[in-house]
């Protein structure tokens, strides 16, 4: 059954963790907003909307960033804000397809098929690096930042349009390694050393005190624990920043989790299929040129029953 909108009662559509993929007809929420119309909110603290106030709740590439127990709590929050007969749509990286492709590329590599090992290496990055990395970008960022990516077509087929943006970003660090970086570094250094503000001694004092306080606290902790806490804190801060994958889903485990959260009838769909009216026109899972935004995704919709 499709939900219906009318001129008198437009639908309330919500996009959680929207990143830069959002539509102005929707209520868009993210902890790091990429537009003025995005509501800034940390979804680990719940969804800042009233009970049964939304017709559609959608999120893409979010659920895998929550720990397993937090993911259930988050889906229960989605249930709370949905109206009876409302629709939830979830997109996550598809673990099943990843594993099948990994196994195929493993076999091809063992059998010595030309270039198969590049695809095999990429699948390892998708499966593993996204979960275990300890610095932003991880080994995947390094792979995408290479001068020549040996299996660019395969990578593009896996992560779609995102490949272009990530490759550009990863390469900008390298391209920036000459004069530009020296210039930028020297500006940063001058600012950090207070040279850009020769008269603002209080700023220099404040900055030194702040840096000093953090360093001192960390040094005291190091002394007390007998362990160098600096790398521990750096890694801990990064791992809690929301970049890494904390869990993965397939069509079985995602459907089961949706049911555990209270939803009915979870169904797997493709990127363009939906019970949400005018779905493709919002260009969330389908780009304006008709291609898939995230080819590696699993899409699932479920409903809140009318009597729940």
Ligand X SMILES: C[S@@+](CC[C@H](N)C(=O)[O-])C[C@H]1O[C@@H](n2cnc3c(N)ncnc32)[C@H](O)[C@@H]1O
Angle between the 116-124 and 152-159 helix axes, to the nearest 10 degrees?
40
CA 16 – CA 13 distance, rounded (Å): 10
Nearer to ligand X, 225 or 241 (CB): 241
For binding to ligand X (CB under 6 A), which residues are involved? 17-19, 21, 30-32, 42-44, 60-62, 65, 242
Whole-number minimum distance, CB 119 to ligand X, in Å? 23
For ligand X, the nearest residue by Cβ is 19
Cβ neighbours for 97, distance < 8 A, ≥ 6 positions apart: 296, 298
Nearer to ligand X, 35 or 231 (CB): 35
CB 293 within 8 A of CB 253: no
Nearest to 166 by CA among 221, 227, 243, 107: 243
Residue tagged 């990578």 (tokens) = 155
CA 219 – CA 238 distance, rounded (Å): 20
Quote the Cα angle for 170-174-179, to 5°.
140
Whole-number minimum distance, CB 99 to ligand X, in Å? 20
Residue tagged 């559509």 (tokens) = 13
Whole-number minimum distance, CB 44 to ligand X, in Å? 4
CB 254 within 8 A of CB 298: yes
Nearer to ligand X, 69 or 179 (CB): 69
Whole-number minimum distance, CB 102 to ligand X, in Å? 21
Whole-number minimum distance, CB 270 to ligand X, in Å? 16
Cβ neighbours for 21, distance < 8 A, ≥ 6 positions apart: 15, 60, 284, 293
Nearer to ligand X, 150 or 242 (CB): 242
Whole-number minimum distance, CB 132 to ligand X, in Å? 17
> What is residue 279's three-state secondary structure?
helix
Nearer to ligand X, 222 or 280 (CB): 280
Nearer to ligand X, 33 or 194 (CB): 33
């Amino acid at each position: 059954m499709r939900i219906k909108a009318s001129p008198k009662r437009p639908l309330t559509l919500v996009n959680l963790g929207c990143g830069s993929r959002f539509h102005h007809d929707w209520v868009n929420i993210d902890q790091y907003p990429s537009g003025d119309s995005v509501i800034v909110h940390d979804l680990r603290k719940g969804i800042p909307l009233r009970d049964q106030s939304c017709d559609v709740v959608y999120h893409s590439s979010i659920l895998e960033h929550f720990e397993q127990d937090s993911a259930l709590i988050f889906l229960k929050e989605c249930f709370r804000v949905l109206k009876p007969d409302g629709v939830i749509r979830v997109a996550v990286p598809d673990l099943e397809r990843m594993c099948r492709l990994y196994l195929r590329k493993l076999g091809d590599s063992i059998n010595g098929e030309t270039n198969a090992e590049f695809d095999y290496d990429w699948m390892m990055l998708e499966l593993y690096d996204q979960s275990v990395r300890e610095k932003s970008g991880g080994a995947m960022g390094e792979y995408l930042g290479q001068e020549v990516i040996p299996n660019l077509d395969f990578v593009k087929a896996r992560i779609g349009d995102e490949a272009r943006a990530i490759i550009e970003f990863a390469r900008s660090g390298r391209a920036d390694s000459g004069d530009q970086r020296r210039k930028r570094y020297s500006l940063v250094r001058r600012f950090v050393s207070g040279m850009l503000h020769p008269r603002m001694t209080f700023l220099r004092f404040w900055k030194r005190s702040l840096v000093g306080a953090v360093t001192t606290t960390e040094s005291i902790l190091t002394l007390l624990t007998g362990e160098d806490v600096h790398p521990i804190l750096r890694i801990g801060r990064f791992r809690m920043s929301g970049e890494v994958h904390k869990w993965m889903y397939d069509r079985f485990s995602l459907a089961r989790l949706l049911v555990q959260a209270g939803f009915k009838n979870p169904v797997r769909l493709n990127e363009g299929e939906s019970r949400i009216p005018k779905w493709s026109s919002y260009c969330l899972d389908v780009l304006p040129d008709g291609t898939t935004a995230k080819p590696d995704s699993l899409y699932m919709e479920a409903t809140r029953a009318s009597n729940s």
